[in-house]
Amino acid sequence: MGIYRDRFVPRLVNVACGMKANEPLRERVCSGLSGRVIELGFGSGLNVPYYPATVTSVSAVEPADLGWKLAAGRLAQARVPVERAGLDGQRLPFPENSFDTALSTWTMCTIPDIDAALAELRRVLVPGGTLHFVEHGLAPDPKVQRWQHRLDPLQQRIAGGCHLNRDIATIIRAGGFEIRDLDVFKGQGPAFIDSQSLGVAAAA
Ligand SMILES: C[S@@+](CC[C@H](N)C(=O)[O-])C[C@H]1O[C@@H](n2cnc3c(N)ncnc32)[C@H](O)[C@@H]1O
């Protein structure tokens, strides 16, 4: 499992998350980011081309070394300084009030203890700092939800710990964030994997 996770999953993520259909979503979710940004689950840097000019620096948190290597081309073109500053969203190596905004794209499905990661994000964001997110998760339709619960163990095995059935808005609110903007929609893929929540939440 170690070799699969280390050598294969980051490539799978680079291809699956790099789909053209995701590009307008990346543009939407990155708009409004500003100042010092923390990006949770940087992956292979697919958001780098979408950081707006209002961003002054990005601290990337990503456990996969291969993801970071696959990001090299995008990092070379980056318009703002980006550093790999942490390895685990559940334990952030930054003091309180270090960041103005935070970004998470298709990462809350995978972090094992997502409640701990949100508590950490709140700690390192300035009061009122915003979390910009686009995440797949639990579909609104109970029939789809049943399939999501059934397929979740398999998905976790093949996709590096990714869950299909996390209720993103509920998790974010329980983490002490106030959701200011939320768009829940089905993407172009099958509903069990493509029920998306895109929005902005403020650290309450
Ligand atoms: C589905 S990928 C999304 C990657 C990227 N955000 C994107 O949009 O292309 C999930 C990412 O979360 C990362 N991840 C897994 N566990 C993590 C943790 N504890 N802390 C931070 N990131 C984590 C994975 O290595 C992977 O790069």
Q: Exposed e or buried b for every residue in 2-32, given b needs 16+ CB within 10 A? A: eeeeeeebbeebbeebeeeebeebbeebbee
What is the model's pLDDT at position 1? 53
pTM of the full structure: 0.97
- Give the tens place of pLDDT for each residue, 155-190: 999 999 999 999 999 999 999 999 999 999 999 999
Q: Is 156 a pocket residue for ligand 1 (Cβ < 6 Å)?
A: no
For residues 6 and 69, is the Cβ–Cβ distance under 8 A?
A: no
Q: Is 29 a pocket residue for ligand 1 (Cβ < 6 Å)?
A: no
Closest C-alpha residue for ligand 1 atom 11: 41
- Give the tens place of pLDDT for each residue, 9-31: 999 999 999 999 999 999 999 99
Q: Is 40 a pocket residue for ligand 1 (Cβ < 6 Å)?
A: yes
**What's the CA gap between 18 and 13, in Å, rounded?**
8
Q: Is 111 a pocket residue for ligand 1 (Cβ < 6 Å)?
A: yes
Q: What is the DSSP string of 112-124?
A: SSHHHHHHHHHHH
- Give the tens place of pLDDT for each residue, 58-116: 999 999 999 999 999 999 999 999 999 999 999 999 999 999 999 999 999 999 999 99
Beta strands in the chain (DSSP E): 35-40, 55-61, 82-86, 99-105, 125-136, 177-186, 195-203
Measured CA angle at 190 (ends 188, 192), to 5 deg: 130
For residues 124 and 38, is the Cβ–Cβ distance under 8 A?
A: yes
65 alpha carbon – ligand 1 mean position (Å): 11
- Index of the ligand 1 atom closest to the CA of residue 63: 25
